[in-house]
Amino acid sequence: MCTTIVVGRKRTADGSVLLAHSEELGRNSAHYLDITQAQDLPAGAAFASFSGGSVPQPSKTFRYLSARIFDKKRYPGDHTFGINQHQVAVANNMALMRDVPVDAAYDIIPGGVIWTEFIQLALERARGAREAVEVIGGLCEDFGLSADSGTMLAAADPAEAWWLEMARGGAWLAKKVGDDEIAMRANCYRFGAEKLDDPACCLHSRALVEDAARKGWHDRSEPFDFSRSYGDPANLADAYNTLRHEMIDAKTAKMERATVKDMMTLLRETYEGTPAYRADPRTGSPFRAGPRTIARLNTEHSSIAHLRGWLPPEVGAVWWCGMSTSLTTAYIPRHFGVTAIDEFHSKAGPGYDPASAYWVFAELSRLCDYSFNRCAGVIRHAWSRFEEAEAADLPELEAEALRLPCACSSPTAPRPSSSSRSTPAGGRSSAATSPPPCWPKPRPRPSTRTSPPWTGPTRPSSPEGSRGSSTASRCPTSSSSSPLSS
């Protein structure tokens, strides 16, 4: 049960695209961070799915960073979030399809693909967000969704973001997020009466409308509504979902331009200061008080992908990740160009381990829950100072990275890792630094004016040639998400 927020490039402070995600599996599904290298695969290679399927593989797969469950036997599949070498980020939220009994909602569909596998296969194959939803949609139609009755995936790259909603039986609908839009999902479908005949902004399964009409879920005399046709009515109306939509939409409607720090704030939301806020009268903890908040005790990790196409992917893609509960965790930045994950974050197992970031932060969240009034303020203050120091250090680190020799001239040249230093280096560099000639060609360099540390360098106002830019102005903003604040 997760929460995901995506922000279009005209709605961010620096012109990047943001994808923020809170992963909530429960049952202490410990996570670790991992790097998967690009691979050349032999002809006829296939991916063996959890449900017994065999998915043909391409000749080459891409490098990616991911958050993974420590053991597939603990929870089917293991990939829950990731960013690949083309700055494509992918996350997932569960949803419920109509007319599927509760005891059959998580049945294994023979040969099907499960949610973690959709994430993995998209990261391995997609060069952009649109291509990611095409990959996922094609897999849904060809092999079917398994182990859930419904699910949703968000895909983002530096130019655009998409939401895809799917149901069993091969039905799926994907829509581009408006460039000036902030679009979030809780755990129910949100697509309504969408314009299906605009392929620049909307993609869907071939028999989407026909299947719904054949099953009696859609009246052909009325506009097609995905949520009403395929969504479970109780799930769509459940306050477990609608409260999150209401609270986050209200917050984002007031954001003129969103930043990474804004996404952290939203992922830590407990509705404090609103009529929906509840807290334990004894401890002050909001975690066991009733309303379904964004920050929760059973969060496994929360992540923010900061995607900047005017920089090479190794530098332009920054993954801010915090283990366990967002309210008591520290978000640590990692650039895509890191060559290794520190041991503390690359280790996880079935029981408490002081050498595992997941378990240390999980224990901290539980200790804080027992004495929230005394502990929460101290923890928040400490992590806020840490995160601000990390953010202030990024511009200098990135300028340093862009001055490094590239792999073709120095195969052993290291890429600096923002997570490898425990203290900030101090001031930031404003010098315009060009990447070496063999780095992937970025969009035009931004101006060199100093930018707020939470947003990084400012991007060009009109990124010519960026993926998806030619269709951006033609894609309408979804009525279910926040409008652009004036």
pLDDT at 451 over 80: no
pLDDT 10s digits, 366-380: 999 999 999 999 999
pLDDT at 485 over 80: no
Taking the CA atoms of 414, 417, 423 and 428 in sequence, report the sign of the dihedral they define. Answer: positive
CA-nearest of 231, 146, 133, 160 to 191 is: 231
Q: How far apart are CA 120 and CA 276, in angstroms?
A: 36
Q: What is the pLDDT of residue 444?
A: 54
Confidence at 448, pLDDT banded by 50, 70, 90: very low
pLDDT at 200 over 90: yes
Confidence at 67, pLDDT banded by 50, 70, 90: very high
Look up tokens 């830019």; give the residue: 469
Q: What are the distances in angstroms from CA 152 to CA 70, 77, 95, 198, 331? A: 23, 16, 7, 21, 25
The strand pairing partners of 171, in sequence order, are 167
Query: In a 10 Å sphere around its CB, with 0-12 CB exposed, 13-18 middle and 19+ buried, how is residue 166 labelled?
Result: buried
pLDDT 10s digits, 268-300: 999 999 999 999 999 999 998 889 999 999 999
How many C-beta atoms surround the C-beta of residue 22 within 10 A? 27
Query: In a 10 Å sphere around its CB, with 0-12 CB exposed, 13-18 middle and 19+ buried, how is residue 47 labelled?
Result: middle
CA-nearest of 90, 97, 292 to 189 is: 97
CA-nearest of 410, 263, 361, 438 to 33 is: 361
Query: In a 10 Å sphere around its CB, with 0-12 CB exposed, 13-18 middle and 19+ buried, how is residue 436 labelled?
Result: middle
Q: How far apart are CA 318 and CA 393, in angstroms?
A: 13
pLDDT 10s digits, 244-272: 999 999 999 999 999 999 999 999 999 99
- Give the mean pLDDT of the chain: 86
The mean pLDDT value for 395-412 works out to 73
**Going from the N-terminus, what domains does the chain have, and what CATH number goes with each?**
3-372 (3.60.60.10)
Continuous H helices in 144-281: 208-214, 226-230, 233-237, 239-253, 260-267
Length of the chain: 486
pLDDT at 457 over 50: no
DSSP 306: E
Estimate the crossing angle of helix 357-370 against helix 372-402, to 10 degrees. Answer: 150
The mean pLDDT value for 151-156 works out to 98
pLDDT at 423 over 60: no
Confidence at 150, pLDDT banded by 50, 70, 90: very high
- 101 contact partners, CB below 8 Å, separation of at least 6: none
What the block records as the tokens of 166 is 């799917």
Q: What is the pLDDT of residue 277?
A: 96
In this prediction the pTM is: 0.86
Three-state SS letters, 444-463: CCCCCCCCCCCCCCCCCCCC
Q: What is the Cα 42 distance to its own chain's centre?
A: 31
The amino acid at 34: D
What DSSP string describes 329-382?
A: ---EEEETT-S---TTTS---SS--TT-HHHHHHHHHHHHHHTHHHHHHHHHHH
- Residue 95 main-chain phi, psi, to 5 deg: -145, 170
What DSSP string describes 130-167?
A: HHHHHHHHHHHHHH-B-SSSEEEEEEE-SS-EEEEEEE
